[in-house]
């Protein structure tokens, strides 16, 4: 899917890194775990995606999990070139046994991670740390891949607002589909735009088009019958979301209207300046499980951190009764 760079740039102008939300005239909004599970179908309720990020022998690791030893030219540091994965694992051989099928599955998931879900600025190399999480395919779904994707997107948007940042990485498909679902006036047109419509500014998002916003697009009848995934309650939990060195806060308490609840005054956002200094550069041998143990403990307590509130329908009725009783 082509990425609309005008749309991404317009959204970046309204992104606030301290809250991980877009600031619109009608309030704050952002991509949540609910959007991830609906739009991407990834599991969001599970163990955090973290662990060791380095191996003793990278060639032996690839041979163990992919069945082949890559040439040294496609290896750089702890990463491997995605183009080599595409060419080497392009076609599953006939009569492949379960072990070979598992190797091709790992290669395919690695390609998805780097090209779509959690790409870097070049989308050319994928880190070996993801391959380690794919070693046992029977437990892969036990990880919260959705929260890992969202944490990387949050971090990428934080970097994207810097003036010197030329490229932006992260799951742009998630960001763009989120915008299309909620801001219907910027969704793809069924009919091509005329030259006059383009001249009037209808070919890309402008300020006047932000006003039509759907807080709950997935509850519409034509949409809800197409959704085939269960949305777990953790989708509205205020918790840290983690992907190896990356830690961000899923601030569901700032976008309660997206869950059909009345928006309360949110608390001050958590200051993550110190955590944001952590990345993989020069820290490949760090034990991220131990280093982020306090954040992982909060994530493991996610069931007790689900946002509660007054449903919007009840709020509207109370406001209406108040106006009738007061004569306003």
Residue 327 lies in a domain: no
44 and 73: one domain?
no
Residue 195 lies in a domain: no
User: pLDDT, tens digit, for every residue of 267-317?
Assistant: 899 888 888 888 777 677 788 899 999 999 999 999 999 999 999 875 444
- Average the pLDDT over 15-31 and give the result: 92
pLDDT for position 121: 66
pLDDT for position 184: 78
CB atoms within 10 A of CB 178: 23
- The more confident residue out of 7 and 161 is 7
Parent domain of 305: 5-49+144-188+201-315
134 and 157: one domain?
no
**Which DSSP symbol is given to 113?**
I
Residue 320 lies in a domain: no
Residue 323 lies in a domain: no
Q: What is the pTM of this model?
A: 0.87
135 and 148: one domain?
no
What is the rounded end-to-end Cα distance, in angstroms, of the chain?
50
- Average the pLDDT over 202-221 and give the result: 66
Q: Please name which of 20, 17, 37, 38 lies closest in space to residue 29, comparing C-alpha atoms.
A: 20
290 and 169: one domain?
yes
- State the total domains in the chain: 2
Residue 15 lies in a domain: yes
Nearest-angstrom CA–CA distance, 259 and 299: 20
User: pLDDT, tens digit, for every residue of 48-58?
Assistant: 999 988 898 99
138 and 148: one domain?
no
160 and 290: one domain?
yes
179 and 67: one domain?
no
User: pLDDT, tens digit, for every residue of 83-103?
Assistant: 999 999 999 999 999 999 999
90 and 152: one domain?
no
Whether residue 319 is predicted with pLDDT greater than 70 in this model: the reply is: no
Cβ proximity of 22 and 28 under 8 Å: yes
Mean pLDDT over all residues of the chain?
85
């Amino acid at each position: 899917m082509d990425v609309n760079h005008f749309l991404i740039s317009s959204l970046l102008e309204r992104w606030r890194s301290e809250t991980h939300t877009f600031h619109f005239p009608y309030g704050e909004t952002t991509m949540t775990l609910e959007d991830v599970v609906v739009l991407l179908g990834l599991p969001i309720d599970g163990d955090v995606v973290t662990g060791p990020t380095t191996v003793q022998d990278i060639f032996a690791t690839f041979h163990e999990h992919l069945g082949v030893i890559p040439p040294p030219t496609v290896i750089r540091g702890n990463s491997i070139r995605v183009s080599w994965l595409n060419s080497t694992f392009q076609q599953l051989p006939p009569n492949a046994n379960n072990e070979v099928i598992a190797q091709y599955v790992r290669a395919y998931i690695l390609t998805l991670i780097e090209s779509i879900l959690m790409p870097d600025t070049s989308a050319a190399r994928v880190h070996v740390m993801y391959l380690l999480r794919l070693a046992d395919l029977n437990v892969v779904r036990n990880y919260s891949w959705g929260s890992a994707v969202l944490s990387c997107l949050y971090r990428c948007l934080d970097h994207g607002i810097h003036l010197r940042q030329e490229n932006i990485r992260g799951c742009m498909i998630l960001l763009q589909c989120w915008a299309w679902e909620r801001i219907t006036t910027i969704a793809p047109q069924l009919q091509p735009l005329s030259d006059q419509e383009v001249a009037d500014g209808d070919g890309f998002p402008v300020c006047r088009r932000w006003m039509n916003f759907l807080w709950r697009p997935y509850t519409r009848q034509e949409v809800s019958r197409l959704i085939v995934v269960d949305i777990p309650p953790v989708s509205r939990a205020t918790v840290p979301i983690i992907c190896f060195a990356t830690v961000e806060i899923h601030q569901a308490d700032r976008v309660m209207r997206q869950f059909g609840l009345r928006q309360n005054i949110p608390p001050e956002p958590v200051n993550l300046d110190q955590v944001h200094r952590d990345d993989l550069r020069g820290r490949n041998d760090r034990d991220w499980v131990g280093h982020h143990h306090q954040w992982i403990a909060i994530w493991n307590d996610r069931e007790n951190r689900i946002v509660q509130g007054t449903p919007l329908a009840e709020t509207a009725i109370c406001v209406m009764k108040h106006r009738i009783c007061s004569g306003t």
